[in-house]
């Protein structure tokens, strides 16, 4: 069964069009050279209607990615944000995953991207639990990847660029083929970076650790939200270089991401983490996070935008 609603609508360059018509030409620059930047957001079914989580932060990161890659977007951040809301509304799903994408289109096929148009699209689909239905409670088994994360000054890790996901794909394929749900990549210095599509946090002696942005990680919006919640709970947050072996001796470990939300990790390289199941600190943070996303807790930070 397809995840996609083929009767749905896609927003492309300013217009909502039928899903089946949302095509691009094979000569588009993006297909040959990976020249795209994108976002992934979630809309949640709240008691008062559908709401998008952290729209402003995601759009800021999208426009940051464009700036890094010198893409002049033909829409203002506000106009593109409105397109995200409009597409979500038009598809009528109570909850969904939202994918805005900006890419170099069809004109010239040299490596130089600048002669090509900057095209924009937004699509949505229904996406359940990214790392498996039981992952949020039960946790997942992961490995340390033999592939490293992007080295500084090669592909910029702070940009959410399509091309970065060739590295993520190597990490993910290796993990899946070896019988794990996900891989954790080290950076070129051998320190912990992140999963193929998630940031990572670990709990040790009651403190929560996460690698800094200089460890080749995407500046995750869920990471940022979780850091805020951790501080509000009065837990000490340590944002410092994390050596690989701290994974094995952590009391608790969890991933964060829009798709993965907050997913506990129960083993790394077949070494059980803590008790081998979701720990109490992870549960506390999940309760805060999912509390806001279900309307049980107040949205104090104005993280939700109703469509």
Q: What residues act catalytically?
A: 160
Residue 250 in contact with residue 202, Cβ under 8 Å?
A: yes
* 100 burial level (CB within 10 Å; 0-12, 13-18, 19+): buried
At 250, which helix (H) or strand (E)?
none
Q: Give how many residues touch ligand PMP by CB under 6 A.
A: 14
Residue 105 interacts with ligand PMP (CB under 6 A): yes or no: no
Candidate segments 20-28, 97-105, 128-136, 196-204, binder of ligand PMP by CB under 6 A: 196-204
Reported for 281-284, long-range contacts at CB under 8 A and 24+ positions apart, including other chains, are 281/203, 281/206, 281/208, 281/235, 281/251, 281/252, 282/203, 282/252, 282/254, 284/233
Supply the DSSP string of 36-76, one letter for each residue: EEE--EEEEEETTEEEEESHHHHHHHHHHHHHHTT---SS-
CB of 108 to ligand PMP, least distance (A): 29
Determine which residue in the list 99, 223, 266, 278 makes contact with ligand PMP, applying CB under 6 A.
Answer: 223
CB of 169 to ligand PMP, least distance (A): 11
CB of 117 to ligand PMP, least distance (A): 25
* 189 burial level (CB within 10 Å; 0-12, 13-18, 19+): middle
Determine which residue in the list 198, 253, 273, 288 makes contact with ligand PMP, applying CB under 6 A.
Answer: 198
CB of 35 to ligand PMP, least distance (A): 18
CB of 67 to ligand PMP, least distance (A): 17
Which backbone phi and psi does 168 adopt, to 5 degrees? -60, -40
Site for ligand PMP in 248-267 (CB under 6 A): 256-258
Distances from the Cα of 98 to the Cαs of 11, 27, 53, 143, 250, in angstroms? 11, 26, 10, 28, 33
Candidate segments 1-9, 130-138, 193-201, 205-213, binder of ligand PMP by CB under 6 A: 193-201
Determine which residue in the list 105, 183, 197, 274 makes contact with ligand PMP, applying CB under 6 A.
Answer: 197
Torsion over CA: 261, 79, 124, 161 (sign): negative
Distance separating the N- and C-terminal Cα atoms of the chain: 28
Whichever of 81 and 222 has its CB closer to ligand PMP, that residue is 222
Whichever of 197 and 279 has its CB closer to ligand PMP, that residue is 197
Residue 220 interacts with ligand PMP (CB under 6 A): yes or no: yes
Candidate segments 13-21, 96-104, 191-199, 208-216, binder of ligand PMP by CB under 6 A: 191-199
Residues that bind ligand PMP (CB under 6 A): 40, 168, 194, 197-199, 218, 220-223, 256-258
């Amino acid at each position: 069964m397809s995840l996609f609603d083929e009767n749905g609508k896609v927003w492309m360059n300013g217009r909502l069009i039928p899903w089946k018509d949302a095509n691009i030409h094979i000569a588009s620059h993006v297909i040959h050279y990976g020249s795209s930047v994108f976002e992934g957001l979630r809309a949640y079914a709240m008691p008062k209607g559908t709401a998008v989580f952290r729209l402003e932060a995601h759009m800021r990161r999208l426009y940051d990615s464009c700036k890094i890659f010198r893409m002049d977007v033909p829409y203002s951040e506000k106009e593109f944000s409105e397109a995200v809301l409009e597409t979500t509304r038009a598809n009528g799903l109570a909850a969904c995953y939202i994918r805005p994408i900006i890419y170099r289109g069809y004109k010239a096929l040299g490596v130089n991207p600048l002669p090509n148009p900057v095209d924009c699209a937004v699509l949505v689909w229904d996406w359940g639990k990214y790392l498996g239905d039981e992952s949020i409670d039960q946790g997942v088994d992961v490995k340390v990847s033999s592939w490293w994360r992007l080295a500084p000054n090669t592909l910029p890790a702070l940009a959410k660029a399509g091309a970065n996901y060739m590295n993520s794909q190597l990490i993910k394929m290796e993990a899946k083929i070896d019988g794990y749900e996900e891989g954790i990549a080290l950076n070129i210095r051998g320190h912990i970076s992140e999963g193929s599509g998630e940031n990572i946090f670990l709990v040790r002696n009651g403190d929560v650790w996460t690698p800094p942005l200089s460890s080749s990680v995407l500046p995750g919006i869920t990471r940022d939200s979780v850091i805020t919640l951790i501080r509000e709970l009065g837990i000490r947050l340590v944002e410092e270089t994390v050596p690989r072996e701290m994974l094995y001796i952590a009391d608790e470990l969890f991933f964060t991401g829009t798709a993965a939300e907050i997913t506990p990790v129960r083993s790394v390289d077949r070494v059980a983490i803590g008790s081998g199941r979701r720990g109490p600190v992870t549960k506390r943070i999940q309760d805060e996070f999912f509390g806001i996303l279900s309307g049980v807790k107040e949205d104090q930070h104005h993280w939700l935008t109703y469509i």
